[in-house]
C-alpha cells in the first residue's frame, strides 16, 4: 500500500506546490473590489496610532528578523484590528492539517483567524510570513497551501489570506475549481511604511473581521 505523501507548510516552495495540485494565478484584480470597497472608516485615533507605528519602525524594519518584525510591527497592528468576536479569535502558530488532492498538508501557520475557544475549528483568514525582506522563504506558496487546507477543512470553495515580506503586504484569494485545480488572485502590494497604504492594510484587515468571519 502506497503511503500518503505529506508536506509541511514551512517547507512549501513553488516546485512542491506544483506536486500537490495545479495552482494557477489569475492576472485580474477586480475580484478584490467586493473586499476592499466594503464600507469601513479609519478614524482619527486609528490614524494617529498607525502614524506612530510607522515612526517607531521605518528605519529598522528592513533589518528585522522574523520575531522582531512580529513583535514590533505586525502584532501591534493586528492587536489594533482586534480579531476577537463571539464566534472567532486570532491564533498565532496553531497546528492544523488536512488532505489536499490526496496529499497530507500540515504545520503551524504564522497567523490565522478561526472559530474555536481552546483550539481552532473553522479557519477564516491567514497571514504568512513574518520574515525580513531578504529571505529564501516562499510566503506566497506557503499561504496558498494553508488556504487550500482550510478550504478542505471548511468544505467550501474559497479562502482569503495575505502574505508579508518586510514592509510589503499582499492580499490573496484562493478558489477551488476541482479536486486538483485551484485559482488564486493577488492584490497590489501595499507599503506599510506609507500612511495611506498602511490605512488600506488596516481597513482591509478590519473588513475581514466584519465581512468574512462568519
Per-residue pLDDT of the chain (214 residues; tens, 9 = 90+): 567 899 999 999 999 999 999 999 999 999 999 999 988 999 999 999 999 999 999 999 988 888 899 999 999 999 999 999 988 999 999 999 999 999 999 999 999 999 998 899 999 999 987 655 445 578 999 999 999 999 999 999 999 999 998 899 999 999 999 999 999 999 999 999 999 999 999 999 999 999 888 7
- Residue 168, all three cell numbers: 510589503
pLDDT score at 133: 47
Phi, psi of 38 (to 5 degrees): -60, 140
Phi, psi of 54 (to 5 degrees): -65, -50
Q: Is 159 helix (H, G, I), strand (E, B) or coil?
A: strand
Q: Strands across the sheet with 96-100, in order?
A: 6-8, 103-107, 96-100
Phi, psi of 76 (to 5 degrees): -60, -35
The domain segmentation of the chain, as residue ranges, is 6-212
pLDDT score at 181: 98
Amino acid at each position: 500500500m502506497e503511503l500518503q505523501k505529506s508536506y509541511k507548510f514551512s517547507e512549501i516552495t513553488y516546485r512542491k506546490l506544483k506536486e500537490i495540485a495545479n495552482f494557477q494565478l489569475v492576472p485580474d484584480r477586480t475580484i478584490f473590489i467586493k473586499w476592499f470597497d466594503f464600507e469601513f472608516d479609519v478614524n482619527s485615533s486609528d490614524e494617529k496610532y498607525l502614524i506612530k507605528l510607522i515612526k517607531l519602525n521605518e528605519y529598522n524594519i528592513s533589518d528585522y528578523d522574523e520575531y522582531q518584525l512580529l513583535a514590533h510591527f505586525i502584532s501591534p497592528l493586528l492587536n489594533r484590528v482586534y480579531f476577537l468576536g463571539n464566534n472567532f479569535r486570532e491564533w498565532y502558530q496553531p497546528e492544523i492539517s488536512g488532505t489536499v488532492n490526496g496529499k497530507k498538508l500540515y504545520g503551524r501557520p504564522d497567523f490565522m483567524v478561526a472559530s474555536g475557544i481552546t483550539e481552532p475549528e473553522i479557519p477564516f483568514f491567514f497571514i504568512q510570513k513574518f520574515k525580513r525582506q531578504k529571505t529564501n522563504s516562499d510566503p506566497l506558496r506557503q499561504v496558498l497551501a494553508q488556504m487550500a487546507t482550510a478550504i478542505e477543512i471548511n468544505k467550501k470553495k474559497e479562502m482569503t489570506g495575505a502574505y508579508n515580506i518586510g514592509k510589503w503586504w499582499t492580499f490573496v484569494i484562493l478558489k477551488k475549481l476541482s479536486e486538483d485545480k485551484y485559482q488564486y488572485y493577488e492584490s497590489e502590494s501595499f507599503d506599510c511604511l506609507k500612511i495611506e497604504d498602511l490605512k488600506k492594510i488596516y481597513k482591509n484587515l478590519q473588513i475581514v473581521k466584519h465581512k468574512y468571519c462568519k
